[in-house]
Amino acid sequence: MGYIGNKEAQPLLFKALKKLEYRGYDSYGIAVLGESIGIHKDTGRVGALTKYVPSLAGLMGIGHTRWATHGEPSQINAHPHTDCSGRFAVVHNGVITNYCELKEELIREGHNFISETDTEVIPHLIEKYYRGNLEAACAETITRLKGSYAIAVIAQTNQQIVVAKNGSPLVIGLGDHENIIASDIPPLLDYTNRVVYLDDGEIGVIDKDNVKISRSGKEIHKSVSLVNWNAEDVQKSDYAHFMLKEIHEQPKIIQHAINGFSLDEFPIVGTDFMGNKGGKGLLILACGTSYHAGLVGKYIIEELLDIPVRVELASEVNHRERMIPVANAIAITQSGETADVLISMKKLMDTGSLTLAITNVRGSSASRLATKTLYLNAGPELSVAATKSFIAQLIEIYKLILLQPGIKTDTKKQLSLELKLMPNYVQQVLDNEQQILDCAKQIAHYSNIFYIGRGINYPIALEGALKIKEISYIHAEGFAAGELKHGPFSLLQPNTPVVAIVNRDFTYDAMITNIKEIKSRKAPVMALVREDDRETEKLTDMIINVPNTHSLFSPIVNTVALQLLAYYTANELGCPIDYPRNLAKSVTVE
């Protein structure tokens, strides 16, 4: 991020970096321009009270929180990086893939490198090309870079921040006699809701009163967008963690998403994206938690619309030599910035596919790339572990499917009514916190946990396991219940609890058999059961009751229960819930 204006930059940079920590938090640094460029960098989190922080005076500066890719988290590898003379300072997100050859060239020319990072070539290139004009030096520098980058540059001689981007996000907030740049919206909200999104290949020159953007040396005019989030949305309020706040926001988010939802009026992409053009089916692309939303989507689309759906990890599609062409693809990405998703979207679009992005962030790269976008309106999600965005993704998928002409009127009616009850059902799960907390206390001390589900709840077993491993560091695996006997059974022991999602549908009997098999191997079973399911209760060691929803909506209540289970387990273990070890919320590198 960067600030230029009339205020002391250092405290503002630190405050803003705290709001960006979810993007990386293994080290951080700032550069402030006073009489010269002053730099402070350190390992760990911004604002750790035990650290000495020098005071750097100046009204402009840049800052960075790092998620290490090249070189371990260390003070030297932390950004900003400088050239030999310390006249230029640079912060960078992304990966410069040709940095080795650039570094060799620069070393041959006499430049000295001190870090292991790819980023350090950038200030040295700027130094090489600087002939009194910072913008021109940056423009020449980026012609040499391969890979992805969003960079912010300051120079000892200029009251300006120069920014450029390719692949990684960068947004400029327009303040009153001050301007702020950042890789995401939250730090800008203290200043403004008027923003300009930089596009790939553009360079911005920012001073406190002006923002000039150019492409290929020609100035261009960009439209100003209004952000509909506000500063309170990015506060923890009275909650101990963002994750708990975000879990508790879910009934409201669902309510908001279905308010005014009418099958006739939903202003959406119609049948364009849900068809089976050329018989090639539909492709869903996503990573992490969003991938699990895609798996639930596949189940419902195939069940209700009879359209074959492939759900692929974008990180895999991305590296395929040959793309299997599809007419329509849906990219699900909370941040809209996951590099693997963006690259695979581009590849597909190059083969002529139409893409629908389902994302939470207006102006995000995915939304600008996609043929059409469906927004989640879940508000900013700051906890690294995704919760409310997942539920919002599911709700949008349900709405999209319910709009399609292929579903029988009765089914549509029944499911639409059920959808309207979801805020209440989710609230019931939240009201059952004590029972979940008791279960969390019991499982917190195990080293391995299995999660099993069947049918539409198989992806929820994956999601439950992902959630708990992300934030509690307990090793957890999600399995399709029927697959246990094809391998994982060999790992079952009295100290391996199994969390079983028991749904009252056609999978019920098979799941009960699975539970009996697990019990006969003496592994403890914790079951997520419908309130009236006395039979399962009798068989299991621990239970979490969830409301009686229609089977197709059961992923929602089951997920919320498993989110709370992961949260309270991690809390019991004293883990840094919002900032889990080695993870970042937006993975903007491949």
Question: Among 126, 556, 587, 589, which residue interacts with ligand G6P (rule: CB under 6 A)?
Answer: 587
Q: How big, in percent rounded to 5, are the helix, strand and coil portions of the chain? A: 40, 20, 40
Please state, in angstroms and as integers, the Cα–Cα distance from residue 144 to each residue in 27, 137, 167, 560, following that order: 27, 11, 15, 48
* Residue 14, token pair as written in the block: 């630190």
Residue placing its CB nearer to ligand G6P in the complex, 391 or 529: 391
Residue placing its CB nearer to ligand G6P in the complex, 291 or 450: 291
Shortest distance (Å) from residue 290 CB to ligand G6P = 4
Closest CA to 517 of 466, 444, 452, 457: 452
Shortest distance (Å) from residue 169 CB to ligand G6P = 11
Measured CA to CA, the distance from residue 200 to residue 250 in angstroms comes to: 34
Contacts (CB under 6 A) with ligand G6P, residues 565-584: 583
Residue placing its CB nearer to ligand G6P in the complex, 204 or 336: 336
* Residue 2, token pair as written in the block: 């960067």
Place of tokens 């600087």: 130
3-class SS of residue 253: helix
Shortest distance (Å) from residue 570 CB to ligand G6P = 14
Residue placing its CB nearer to ligand G6P in the complex, 288 or 380: 288
Of all residues in this chain, which one has the CB nearest to ligand G6P in the complex? 288
Residue placing its CB nearer to ligand G6P in the complex, 111 or 467: 467
Distant-in-sequence, close-in-space partners of 354: CB < 8 Å, separation ≥ 6: 272, 273, 327, 328, 329, 371, 372
Residue placing its CB nearer to ligand G6P in the complex, 32 or 471: 471
3-class SS of residue 332: strand
Question: Among 60, 181, 300, 384, which residue interacts with ligand G6P (rule: CB under 6 A)?
Answer: 384
CB atoms within 10 A of CB 160: 21
Question: Among 168, 183, 289, 503, which residue interacts with ligand G6P (rule: CB under 6 A)?
Answer: 289
Measured CA to CA, the distance from residue 212 to residue 101 in angstroms comes to: 32
* Distance from the Cα of residue 315 to its chain's centroid: 14
Residue placing its CB nearer to ligand G6P in the complex, 384 or 426: 384
Using rule CB under 6 A, residue 334 touches ligand G6P = yes
Measured CA to CA, the distance from residue 198 to residue 279 in angstroms comes to: 38
Shortest distance (Å) from residue 334 CB to ligand G6P = 4
Using rule CB under 6 A, residue 288 touches ligand G6P = yes
Through-space distance between the first and last CA atoms of the chain, rounded to whole angstroms: 21
CB atoms within 10 A of CB 351: 12
Regarding beta strands 354-359 and 328-333, do their DSSP bridges make them parallel or antiparallel, or are they unpaired?
A: parallel
Contacts (CB under 6 A) with ligand G6P, residues 123-152: none
Shortest distance (Å) from residue 587 CB to ligand G6P = 5
Measured CA to CA, the distance from residue 540 to residue 523 in angstroms comes to: 10
Which string of x and - marks every residue 47-76 that binds ligand G6P (by CB under 6 A)?
------------------------------
Using rule CB under 6 A, residue 333 touches ligand G6P = yes
Which string of x and - marks every residue 183-222 that binds ligand G6P (by CB under 6 A)?
----------------------------------------
Distant-in-sequence, close-in-space partners of 210: CB < 8 Å, separation ≥ 6: none
Which string of x and - marks every residue 526-565 that binds ligand G6P (by CB under 6 A)?
----------------------------------------
* String of DSSP letters for 409-457: HHHHHHHHHHHHHHHHHHHHHHHTHHHHHHHHHHHTT-SEEEEEE-GGG
Residue placing its CB nearer to ligand G6P in the complex, 450 or 579: 579
* Cα within 13 Å of Cα(8), Cβ side: 7
Question: Among 9, 153, 287, 577, which residue interacts with ligand G6P (rule: CB under 6 A)?
Answer: 287
Using rule CB under 6 A, residue 386 touches ligand G6P = yes
Shortest distance (Å) from residue 580 CB to ligand G6P = 8
Question: Among 64, 124, 241, 585, which residue interacts with ligand G6P (rule: CB under 6 A)?
Answer: 585
**Which region among 63-71, 207-215, 333-341, 414-422 touches ligand G6P (by CB under 6 A)?**
333-341
Please state, in angstroms and as integers, the Cα–Cα distance from residue 80 to each residue in 54, 392, 408, 450, 505, following that order: 16, 36, 59, 43, 56
* 3-class SS letters over 456-467: HHHHHHHHHHHH
Question: Among 119, 158, 250, 290, which residue interacts with ligand G6P (rule: CB under 6 A)?
Answer: 290
Using rule CB under 6 A, residue 338 touches ligand G6P = yes
Shortest distance (Å) from residue 390 CB to ligand G6P = 8
Residue placing its CB nearer to ligand G6P in the complex, 282 or 376: 376
Measured CA to CA, the distance from residue 105 to residue 97 in angstroms comes to: 15
Using rule CB under 6 A, residue 82 touches ligand G6P = no
154 close to 2: Cβ distance less than 8 angstroms:
yes
Residue placing its CB nearer to ligand G6P in the complex, 289 or 549: 289
**Which region among 8-16, 88-96, 126-134, 382-390 touches ligand G6P (by CB under 6 A)?**
382-390
What is the size of the binding site for ligand G6P (CB under 6 A)?
Answer: 16
**Which region among 87-95, 227-235, 329-337, 537-545 touches ligand G6P (by CB under 6 A)?**
329-337
56 close to 38: Cβ distance less than 8 angstroms:
yes
Question: Which residues sit at the interface with ligand G6P, rule CB under 6 A?
Answer: 287-290, 333-335, 338, 341, 384-386, 583, 585-587
